[in-house]
Amino acid sequence: MAFSLQESKLPMLPFSVLIIISILGRSLHASDPPLTLDHYAPTCPSVFEIVKKEMECEVRSDPRNAALIVRLHFHDCFVQGCDGSVLLDDTITLQGEKKASASINSLGGFQIIDRIKSKIESECPGIVSCADILTIAARDAVLLVGGPYWDVPVGRKDSKTASLELAESNIPRADESLLSIITKFLYQGLSVTDLVALSGAHTIGSARCASFRARIYRDFETTSDRSPASETHLSSLKSRCPASGGGDNNISAMDYVTPNLFDNSFYHLLLKGDGLLNSDQELYSSMLGLETKNLVVKYAHDPVAFFQRFSYSMVKMGNITNPHSFVNGEIRTDCRFVNA
Ligand code: HEM
Ligand SMILES: *[C@@H]1O[C@H](CO)[C@@H](O)[C@H](O)[C@H]1NC(C)=O
Ligand SMILES: *[C@@H]1O[C@H](CO)[C@@H](O)[C@H](O)[C@H]1NC(C)=O
């Protein structure tokens, strides 16, 4: 009897262990850290107001600042989760992410985050993480240039580490294939729909000649509808970005129709075949991208659907967490350096 009881218990063991593992796994990833809308309500109720006010000034002085902050948030979240790792400067003891090939000569907005951080530190010292400031600022940036509003869950901690290696491997490049970019999004828990919606951020901001030279001298004319507007645009791109002989850091707007407006005209450009980055045009033109093509068409025709999905996907990207930072992280005093 005792033997048969044991026997009947044994096969149960792996099953209950599995349940425990899956519960632990869930608590480590989905609910840890528990981001909430009211995390700072008792400790720094004015945080959203301060970020908004600062971002209003920054975007009024230069709309490009909106683009810089949105991109900075993306590069933060794709490396160790949204933990402010992208903000860390190189020091003798820490190698930051700023020299990664996708970021060097290209990322900006660090001083904007410094200015917001110092305002917040004077109001509520040691309370608000740099990762949260960047996440809130990205939402305000989008809103200020005509994009959608969404509520921002907060409660992130700042990392004590950064990873140049992960910055090199996780952040997609303009010359990368669609399949490879999809893989990088899936790796972060983001879907093909998230990829197409989030790429809509390229409706604002600019790219450097180095990022689109290969595109304008190779297959731009293959994908383009060769309308007079497209032809004029292509020759102006070429004049600012010579095939050889420099100009690498000359910039051009990715959405040349409404460069400073967050709208869905980015998707209309892809329909015309006029996407500036090869990676963007592939969403519509790649033979392997039937699903992405359908989504581009959908967002071109339905701006409301684009705004809704963009908001949802930004929250989802902002939810990419660093479980390690949640336990070992901190609230940095200076966003550029780990606390002493
Ligand atoms: C899907 C894969 C992506 C690729 C391959 C990509 C690539 C690039 C490249 C090459 C640039 C120009 C950089 C330069 O030449 O200096 C750029 C700019 C930008 N990206 Fe992306 N990106 C991607 C996704 C995203 C996402 C998900 C966001 C945000 C939600 C984003 C936001 C931006 C913004 C706002 C700019 C303009 C920045 C400025 O004006 O300086 N990108 N991206
Ligand atoms: C960079 O762009 C400017 C126009 O904005 C142009 O005059 C200059 O020649 C370009 N640089 C190169 C190396 O072509
Ligand atoms: C993001 O996280 C919050 C709280 O942690 C959760 O309520 C929300 O459903 C998540 N949203 C998405 C799109 O993942």
pLDDT tens for 101-160 read: 999 999 999 999 999 999 999 999 999 999 999 999 999 999 999 999 999 999 999 999
Residues 91, 104 share a domain: yes
Ligand 2 atom at minimum distance from 246 CA: 13
Mean pLDDT of the chain: 91
Instruction: Give the pLDDT band (50/70/90) at residue 20.
Output: very low
Tokens 């002085």 map to which residue? 61
Domain for residue 15, yes or no? no
Residues 202, 104 share a domain: no
Domain for residue 10, yes or no? no
- Could you tell me the CATH number of the domain that includes residue 208? 1.10.420.10
Domain for residue 177, yes or no? no
- The active-site residue out of 75, 233, 268, 324 is 75
- Could you tell me the CATH number of the domain that includes residue 119? 1.10.520.10
The reported pTM is: 0.91
Residues 119, 82 share a domain: yes
Going from the C-alpha of 104 to that of each of 96, 208, 338, the distances in angstroms are: 11, 12, 21
What is the spatial distance between Cα 169 and Cα 159, in angstroms, rounded to a whole number? 19
Q: Which structural domain, as residue segments, surrounds residue 293?
A: 190-316
Ligand 1 atom at minimum distance from 173 CA: 5
pLDDT for the residue numbered 33: 54
The string of pLDDT tens digits covering residues 34-65 is 899 999 999 999 999 999 999 999 999 999 99
The count of domains in the chain is 2
Note whether 77 and 320 are within 8 A (CB).
yes
What is the spatial distance between Cα 161 and Cα 159, in angstroms, rounded to a whole number? 5
Instruction: Give 16 or 149, the one with higher predicted confidence.
Output: 149
Residues 299, 207 share a domain: yes
Q: For 202-207, what is the mean pLDDT?
A: 98
pLDDT for the residue numbered 192: 98
Domain for residue 310, yes or no? yes
pLDDT for the residue numbered 323: 76
What is the spatial distance between Cα 17 and Cα 236, in angstroms, rounded to a whole number? 64
The answer on pLDDT for 21 being more than 50 is no
pLDDT for the residue numbered 140: 99
Q: Is 172 annotated as a binding residue?
A: yes
The answer on pLDDT for 326 being more than 90 is no
Residues 263, 302 share a domain: yes
Q: For 304-325, what is the mean pLDDT?
A: 94
Residues 247, 264 share a domain: yes
Tokens 């303009």 map to which residue? 174
Residues 308, 324 share a domain: no
Kindly report the protein residue whose alpha carbon is nearest to atom 13 of ligand 1.
Answer: 207
Distance 135 CA to ligand 3 centre (A): 14
Residues 157, 200 share a domain: no
Residues 274, 157 share a domain: no
pLDDT for the residue numbered 322: 80
Domain for residue 148, yes or no? yes
Residues 88, 60 share a domain: yes
Q: Is 39 a catalytic residue?
A: no
Of the candidates 194, 175, 136, the one whose C-alpha atom is nearest the C-alpha of residue 310 is 194
Domain for residue 252, yes or no? yes
Distance 92 CA to ligand 1 centre (A): 29
Instruction: Give the pLDDT band (50/70/90) at residue 26.
Output: very low
Angle between the 209-217 and 228-240 helix axes, to the nearest 10 degrees? Answer: 130
pLDDT for the residue numbered 167: 98
Instruction: Give the pLDDT band (50/70/90) at residue 235.
Output: very high
Rg (CA), the chain: 22
Domain for residue 209, yes or no? yes
Q: Give 253's strand partners.
A: 206
The string of pLDDT tens digits covering residues 238-285 is 999 999 989 999 999 999 999 999 999 999 999 999 999 999 999 999
Cα 154 off chain centre by: 16
pLDDT for the residue numbered 32: 55
Instruction: Give the pLDDT band (50/70/90) at residue 316.
Output: very high
Ligand 1 atom at minimum distance from 108 CA: 41
Domain for residue 251, yes or no? yes
Q: Give 330's strand partners.
A: 158
Residues 324, 247 share a domain: no
Distance 241 CA to ligand 2 centre (A): 7
| Ligand 2, pocket residues at CB < 6 Å | 240, 242, 246-247, 250
Distance 113 CA to ligand 1 centre (A): 18
The answer on pLDDT for 292 being more than 90 is yes
Residues 275, 197 share a domain: yes
Kindly report the protein residue whose alpha carbon is nearest to atom 9 of ligand 3.
Answer: 316
Q: For 64-93, what is the mean pLDDT?
A: 98
